Structure 1
Amino acid sequence: MTEDDDGLHLNQLDRCDNIEFDAITPDEKGNTLFFKGDHLWKGFHGAAQLFNESFKELDNFHHLGHVDAAFLMHTNENPQDHDHIYFFLNDKVFSYYGHILKEGYPKEIQQDFPGVPSHLDAAVECPKDECISDSVLFFKGHDVYNHDIVTKVVKKKTWSHLPKCTSAFRWLEHFYCFHGHNFTRFQPLSGEVTGAYPKDARNYFMKCSDFGHGGGYSLPKCSQVSVDAITSDDAGKTYVFKGPIYMRLDVGHDSIHAFPISRMWKEVHDTVDAVFSYNNKIYLIQRDQVYIYRSAGHYILIEGYPKPLQEELGIEGPVAAAFVCAENHVVHIIQGQKMLNVDLSATPRAVSTETLLPVSNVSGALCGPDGIKLFKGSEYYRYESPEVLGRSKIAPEPLNITSALMGCHD
């Protein structure tokens, strides 16, 4: 067995020990791959393995024992390239899908990416809405090359304020420059950095015994979980709110982290009472106020909000839970043991029907392909549809929240 650049053998290489990654990228299944020397970690925890076990040609062609940069292609314009992983080694580029090298590779970098230099430091994909068009950001020193995937036009910028990135990563629609064992979050169009950075990657992107998961937050046991609010937006992103934090549930258990609500919805502080998604917008209800955000790209507060609940939905607060089912214009609002139905397509909005529920003290509600879930403590009640819920006189047997359903461990 050969040694990597730091002289560490496979059974000694520990990513919790001041590792500076060579490259980070998701694969086509959403698993995060971390590269260091000739080693690879799959996911946010687990042991290292030799990367030629998964991508053998990287070693067969060059025997370099490292990767300069990597990214997952995101493009709806060129479906033949979508979800391919691109690796960069010196002046060569490799394209993989399903861990199989695409015919014709490796190539000179300039054949696929004209205007992009060799010997790169990092690369990261930037989908449309987060960048102006589907793009790739390539890093070399303080220079950043924005490559338009469709037109192949490259625009060079110099971000001297950003640390020199040894790897870059897009995660939960945010962009991260990794340097040493730290990372700095940046805005992909300008390189702007806001907030207190750098931060230690071991608090967020891996599980290390002496470091806090997600900056000091640890995932609770499923028997201890409770929900303040929950929703899935039109893009399929599922958010759960508890106190001043939120988590994304659609990213896979290994990637679940807690963040302050104000990180995503910066005007909202403290606890959210209820939340629902409708027509590419997300509604966050806090006491007698409602905040409405556009869901395209990052969440942007619509001008004029927050507004009083009475003005927006024709009801008084507080609200315990709310949900909207797909391709439906009615928001079902739960207050105490009552469910109020409000037609969101009507003007002005007002309560159309009111129903007494068989379940009390509901704290969150979600409508999905498998029906309605009403959350109460660490349990939930399932109904086939809002109509079935509205007609029910007796509560069904409660079901326990599981790790497959929520960010928790058994």
Structure 2
Amino acid sequence: MHTMGVITATLCLAWALALGCAHPLTHKKPEAAGGGHPHGAEPPSNDTDLAQLCTDEASFDAVTLSENGTMLFFRGEEVWESSRGGGQLHVRPLASSWPELGGPVDAALRLHRRQHPEEHQSLYLFQGEQVWAYAGEQLRPGFPRRVEDEFPGVPGGVDAAVECHPEECGGETILFFKGDTVYSFDLALRVTKSRTWLELGPCDAALRWLERYYCLQGTRFQRFDPLTGKVPPGYPRDLRDYFIPCPGRGHGSGDTSWGDAGDRCSGTPFQALLSDDTGRIYAFRGGLSFRLDSRQDGHHAWPLGQTWPGLEGEVDAAFAWDGRTYLIQGSQVSIFLSEQGHRRVQGYPRALQEELGVPSADAAFTCPGSAHLYLITGNRVRLVDLLQTPRQVGEPVPLPHDHVDGAMCTKDGVFLFHGPSYHQYASVAQLLGAQQPAPPQSIATHFFHCPQ
């Protein structure tokens, strides 16, 4: 099947999610006092340490986002950080960034509170009974403080912590884990409620990524519902198949590497792209999907079914309309509800011909706020009015391209993708009136920040 491409020109794309560490951890986390300061230039990654990480069975002490949006993974006296715009891992001693801490951390989290600038983007590091908070890479006044003074009702010596965003928890909340007990701290009311999630069990570290929540337990992890603690089928899974770029391991495909399909800089064309009504953007290649709009979450690839439950194989075309996302696979289409954790609508997949009036499509796009769907096959595009029932397909209109892999329309115009290049048009009208393709530009360079 033809392949599809990627993304809008003004999108701030992210950093690859990566983990790592050099030395086995002990599970005992000593108490210490101290502060911290910004680290300097990124040191080179260490393949030897990464290889050791991929063979040991030790756990992480903590995992969170840094103040600049890269991922931090704490283990013992070291911290690993993913690089900006790439999949490299950089390891450094913990003391080089936060020398006053004097030892490993118990837990870490970053707050995202735009309405509270004194706390917004603060990075919190926990050790025993104390917590340190950094804003703008500087220790905030009054820190370190006792955990119970900063978060009333939360005991010291927590094992893990993660911020729960209002859209997922109904309010601004922090989840603290200590043994089998979970402490839910309401940031607005400054009150704590405790509960026990036996199904989830203790967590060595906790992570929010792509609106989903993960509990790390040794080299395994579980996804959980932040309101109930329930774990969906298929867990636990191995960190080294998903989060850690271990040689020869395929992030959910056993010991088979994803190869070029999982490498955003490989130049391999994408098979589909989706920009939904919430502003989330996904790219599809092989049996993988990439989340592209989140600056913090990166260009990390995941197996298709991880984001789109029940979906397997390759996605050939994709578009969004009226709170739903349409994923076309060959002659069939599946519809998922965008605001309900990508839940597939009952009765799907069904025939594309029955749903949209065409047997197949190389690419598809809708523009923001419009019910006009444009379906591209070969060098022709056809219009479908999604408000019309039954749906009628318009006459084919020629394009200034012999073939495209994918297409997308945003407030910045229409983007057509072919191989490693994209072509940008200010509007649908400009696209349909063009006699020649717009100048090609590099997808990898301009949108994934890959080296030329």
1:122/1:254 CA distance change after superposition, 3 Å: closer
Residue 250 (structure 1) aligns with: 293
1:304/1:409 CA distance change after superposition, 3 Å: farther
Does residue 87 in structure 1 map to residue 125 in structure 2? yes
| Equivalent residue in structure 2 for 1:218, among 242, 248, 259 | 259
Deviation at 1:146, TM superposition (A): 1.8
Does residue 240 in structure 1 map to residue 279 in structure 2? no
The CA RMSD measured in Å over matched residues stands at 3.3
Structure with more contact order per residue of length (Cα contacts < 8 Å, sep ≥ 6): 2
- Which residue type is aligned with residue 132 of structure 2? F
1:347/1:76 CA distance change after superposition, 3 Å: farther
Q: What are the equivalent positions in structure 2 for 1:4-403 lying under 5 Å apart?
A: 15-16=53-54, 17-43=56-82, 45-57=88-100, 59=101, 63=102, 65-75=103-113, 78-209=116-247, 211-213=249-251, 215=253, 216-220=257-261, 222=265, 225-251=268-294, 255-296=298-339, 298-302=341-345, 305-306=348-349, 309=352, 312-313=355-356, 315-344=357-386, 349-351=391-393, 354-368=396-410, 370-402=412-444
1:348/1:106 CA distance change after superposition, 3 Å: farther
Deviation at 1:339, TM superposition (A): 1.4
Tell whether the 8 Å contact from 2:242 to 2:302 is kept in structure 1 after alignment.
no
- State the alpha-carbon separation in 1 of the partners of residues 118 and 340 from structure 2: 24
Residue 11 (structure 2) aligns with: none
1:207/1:306 CA distance change after superposition, 3 Å: closer
Deviation at 1:141, TM superposition (A): 0.7
Q: Which runs of 5+ in 2 are unaligned?
A: 1-22, 29-42
- State the alpha-carbon separation in 1 of the partners of residues 340 and 67 from structure 2: 21
**Greater CA drift, 16-25 or 392-401:** 392-401
- State the alpha-carbon separation in 1 of the partners of residues 297 and 134 from structure 2: 24
State the aligned residue count.
400
1:402/1:232 CA distance change after superposition, 3 Å: same
TM score, norm. by length of structure 2:
0.77
- State the alpha-carbon separation in 2 of the partners of residues 122 and 321 from structure 1: 44
1:300/1:4 CA distance change after superposition, 3 Å: closer
**Greater CA drift, 303-312 or 26-35:** 303-312
- Residues 111-160 of structure 1, C-alpha deviations (whole Å, 9 max, x = no match): 23211111000011111232232211111111111222222332222123
**Greater CA drift, 66-75 or 44-53:** 44-53
Deviation at 1:203, TM superposition (A): 2.8
Tell whether the 8 Å contact from 1:219 to 1:409 is kept in structure 2 after alignment.
no
- State the alpha-carbon separation in 2 of the partners of residues 76 and 342 from structure 1: 40
Q: Which runs of 5+ in 1 are unaligned?
A: none
- Residues 10-50 of structure 1, C-alpha deviations (whole Å, 9 max, x = no match): 99966444442111101233211111223211126434222
TM score, norm. by length of structure 1:
0.84
1:408/1:301 CA distance change after superposition, 3 Å: farther
- State the alpha-carbon separation in 2 of the partners of residues 85 and 138 from structure 1: 15
Deviation at 1:67, TM superposition (A): 1.0
Deviation at 1:390, TM superposition (A): 0.6
Tell whether the 8 Å contact from 1:21 to 1:36 is kept in structure 2 after alignment.
yes
- Which residue type is aligned with residue 36 of structure 1? R
Deviation at 1:210, TM superposition (A): 5.1
- State the alpha-carbon separation in 2 of the partners of residues 154 and 223 from structure 1: 47
Structure 1 stretches (4+) deviating beyond 6 angstroms? Answer: 10-13, 407-410
Tell whether the 8 Å contact from 2:181 to 2:196 is kept in structure 1 after alignment.
yes
- Residues 40-65 of structure 1, C-alpha deviations (whole Å, 9 max, x = no match): 111264342223433345x2xxx3x0
Deviation at 1:207, TM superposition (A): 2.7
SS in 2 for 1:381: strand
